[in-house]
Structure 1
Amino acid sequence: MNKHISLPTGTASSSPIYDALRKDLVDGRFAAGEKLAINALKEHYQVGLSPLREALNKLAAYGLLIQENQRGFRVPQLSREELDDIARLRKELEGMALEQAIAYGDAVWEADLLAAEHRLKRADMSLDKIDEWEHLHTQFHRTLVAPCGSVWLLRFIEQLHDQFDRYRRLGPTIPAVRQALDEQHHQLVELALSRDAGAARALMEAHIHQSYEVALARYQAHA
């Protein structure tokens, strides 16, 4: 039985200001620990106070902001302990989701997965096109685990990805590292299509660990 479901994007419904703020928080536009000035946000995003506050409240509930009583919103700090915890949970939850996706995925999923990998592989790897690669990278990982059958599992994975990327995107993407990750993406597809769940899970954990090492080096360089 196919259990393909759409992956949540952090909240039940999103808005342009929510999406823009979420991307900027993950990309590191705001410094860790920085207090957000409401008036500056209104001007930068050209948005009214009501939709802005709604987006900020949702992002606080999602974990990308800290809401301080009567004092507005602040960007969470970064720490080695948090990064270690995020990476560990990613390995556990994404490994579980991949095993379930391989068990439930049908021919439509297989075609979607091949297409997602193809788009990612063909993406421009120049630094000025990094946003495109990041988008396609996210879409690939979503497609890989989409048939797992659990909305909550996908929701937790999405949230962990955003928190992990706050560390990974502290520095520019290195083409050689991206090429190595893309090769692992191809291997993950091959293992998924051959329904080798055990080997696919082991590779997924190795894939996450390689990304973790990149994220850790970038965190240490900024600490």
Structure 2
Amino acid sequence: MGIPRRKEQPTASSRIYDILRQDLVNGRFAAGEKVAISALKERYEVGLSPLREALNRLAAYGLLIQENQRGFRVPSLERGELDDIAEMRRELEGMALERAIRFGDAEWESELLAAAHRLKRADMAPEKVDEWEQFHTRFHRTLVAPCGSVWLLRFIEQLHDQFDRYRRMAPEAPEVRRVLDAQHGELVQLALERDIKAARALMDDHIQRSYEVALRGVTVGVSPPRPG
């Protein structure tokens, strides 16, 4: 019998990377804001070395901009960039969905139904919005999970983070949110029916509607950072 492997604990750098990544995506920092390393050390109670490592990773990922000899800055919100992100989401996520429907098995169907159920039951009250966002992200990941390409899933995850920077800075649009929520259920149904053409068309429409909401964030992206 082999010796049980110890579960690796996340390093300080990995922990702060995950926390900062979520805070940047959630709009806890204003677009264009300069990130003060000294303030981050105090705010997140982390040492300089793991913090710098996390900041460098976030810059390579695209959620921060590294400025020569001047530290780091949060990227601005630009219409042209959002257009590009949305178009790439339509292309790559649509491709992944088609492949997922072809390759997905019964276990995937069960996981997709469970993810959709959790999302539908999630509370969107302001104090619970972070939890809803987690269920929302998990649903979209599950939907395309069996596409068969690790790299495709990585690109989609990065695009989602960049897209969500805009969406979460935008004013609430409850009338559009109701349509988008209904489309989640429709996507599940089409996936279970293995209707690739209809599912791809609905995904394109889903991303377009979400884009129109996110676009409103371009005009408010210079507002002060959210508390929390």
TM-score normalized with structure 2 length = 0.89
166-175 vs 49-58, greater mean Cα deviation: 166-175
Tell me if the contact between 2:31 and 2:221 (Cα under 8 Å) persists in the aligned partners: no
Instruction: Name the residue aligned to 1:124.
Output: 123
Runs (5+) with no aligned partner, structure 2: 1-12, 223-228
Instruction: Name the residue aligned to 2:138.
Output: 139
Instruction: Name the residue aligned to 1:158.
Output: 157
Instruction: Name the residue aligned to 1:115.
Output: 114
Superposed counterparts of 1:166-185, under 5 Å: 166-185=165-184
Instruction: Name the residue aligned to 2:20.
Output: 21
* Structure 2 residue identity aligned to 1:37: A
Distance in 2 of aligned mates of 1:113 and 1:124: 19
Instruction: Name the residue aligned to 2:195.
Output: 196
Q: Counterpart of 1:15 in 2: which secondary structure?
A: helix
55-64 vs 71-80, greater mean Cα deviation: 71-80
Percent sequence identity is 74
Distance in 1 of aligned mates of 2:14 and 2:150: 21
Tell me if the contact between 1:120 and 1:136 (Cα under 8 Å) persists in the aligned partners: yes
Runs (5+) with no aligned partner, structure 1: 1-13
Q: Counterpart of 2:163 in 1: which secondary structure?
A: helix
Structure 1 residue 172, shift from structure 2 partner: 4.9
Question: Deviation above 2 Å: which 4+ runs of structure 1?
Answer: 171-179, 220-223
Tell me if the contact between 2:170 and 2:215 (Cα under 8 Å) persists in the aligned partners: no
Tell me if the contact between 1:127 and 1:172 (Cα under 8 Å) persists in the aligned partners: no
Structure 1 residue 43, shift from structure 2 partner: 0.2
Superposed counterparts of 1:1-223, under 5 Å: 15-222=14-221
Measured on the aligned residues, the alpha-carbon RMSD in Å equals 1.3
CA deviation string 1:11-36 (max 9, x = no partner): xxx72211110011111111111111
Tell me if the contact between 2:16 and 2:51 (Cα under 8 Å) persists in the aligned partners: yes
56-65 vs 177-186, greater mean Cα deviation: 177-186
Tell me if the contact between 1:127 and 1:173 (Cα under 8 Å) persists in the aligned partners: no
Distance in 1 of aligned mates of 2:218 and 2:193: 37
Structure 1 residue 75, shift from structure 2 partner: 0.8
Tell me if the contact between 1:125 and 1:175 (Cα under 8 Å) persists in the aligned partners: no
Distance in 1 of aligned mates of 2:171 and 2:44: 24
Counting matched residue pairs gives 210
Instruction: Name the residue aligned to 1:3.
Output: none
CA deviation string 1:55-102 (max 9, x = no partner): 001100100011112221111111100010100010000000000000
Distance in 1 of aligned mates of 2:186 and 2:50: 43
